[in-house]
Amino acid sequence: MDRRVALRPVKVWDAPVRLFHWAIVLLVGFSWLSIEESWMQLHFLSGYTILALLIFRIVWGVIGSDTARFSRFLGSPAAALRHLSHFRRREPDLEVGHNAAGGWMVLLMLLLLLVQAGSGLFANDDVMNEGPLAHLAGKALSDRLTSLHGLTFTLVQIAVLLHVLAVIAYAVVKRQDLVRPMVTGVKRLPATVPAPRLGRLWTALSLLGAAALAVVLLVNVAGR
């Protein structure tokens, strides 16, 4: 980029999206660890927290900050392909939110995690543990959803691997650091790039509380 173009710090990621991201990273890792260590109650707890965070994130994707909104970051497949076609070009980072290709990957990861946590509610381990809604499904369907739960995790692992490789590729090929903005929220952008409108923190907190309540009710009322 022309070095004379003045850059200014712009808050692109709000705190709720950043906290959502890093909490998901920790909790997906912990869900895996807890299964490896057979800490089933902690596995369930971690899964419920992920479910509440996903409900929050999906609604925030409709009513939240510009950069969190699905309508903003899900463009046409043609736009995604166009973005990928100049992947090897070294160019300044002018993205205010997810890029045209990354947006679809984000949607895929959110959906996979939703299926993962949702199927877990109906899963059983054939020994003494079952998700709180397994009894509603019956043994045969619960078994099939348990297989889905295992299969989905493989897909989550593949998606996360591609996701992290993409972030590394942006750093190496394009010299764009996407990670720092996901930590601090801030990118340095030319003054010509308008700042996004960010949602209110109290709205996000209320929404998160409502999502947590919905999961507690689901587990305790529909469950047993």
Distance CA 161, CA 35 (A): 20
Runs of H (alpha helix) within 7-138: 15-36, 40-63, 70-73, 77-85, 102-121, 134-137
Only segment of 42-50, 76-84, 189-197, 202-210 that touches ligand HEM (CB under 6 A)? 42-50
Query: Residues 83-122: x/- map of binding to ligand HEM (CB under 6 A)?
Result: ---------------x---x---x--xx--x--xx--xx-
- For 161, counting Cβ atoms within 10 Å of its Cβ (0-12 exposed, 13-18 middle, 19+ buried), the class is exposed
- Report how many residues bind ligand HEM under the rule CB under 6 A: 45
Structure tokens at 42: 């902690």
What sign does the CA torsion over 107, 110, 111, 112 have? positive
Q: Does 185 bind ligand HEM (CB under 6 A)?
A: no
Only segment of 2-10, 16-24, 200-208, 209-217 that touches ligand HEM (CB under 6 A)? 16-24
Q: Rg of the Cα trace of the chain?
A: 20
Q: Does 15 bind ligand HEM (CB under 6 A)?
A: no
Map residue 9 onto helix, strand or coil: strand
Q: Does 189 bind ligand HEM (CB under 6 A)?
A: no
Q: Does 39 bind ligand HEM (CB under 6 A)?
A: no
Contact in structure between 132 and 224 (CB atoms under 8 Å): yes
Short-list 215, 218, 185, CA closest to 201 = 185
Q: Which of 52, 57, 64, 65 binds ligand HEM (CB under 6 A)?
A: 57
Q: Which of 52, 80, 146, 196 binds ligand HEM (CB under 6 A)?
A: 146
Q: Does 167 bind ligand HEM (CB under 6 A)?
A: yes
Q: Give residues in contact with ligand HEM (CB under 6 A).
A: 17, 20-21, 24-25, 28, 31-32, 35, 43-44, 47-48, 50-51, 57, 68, 98, 102, 106, 109-110, 113, 116-117, 120-121, 123-125, 129-132, 146, 149-150, 153, 160, 163-164, 167, 178-179, 182
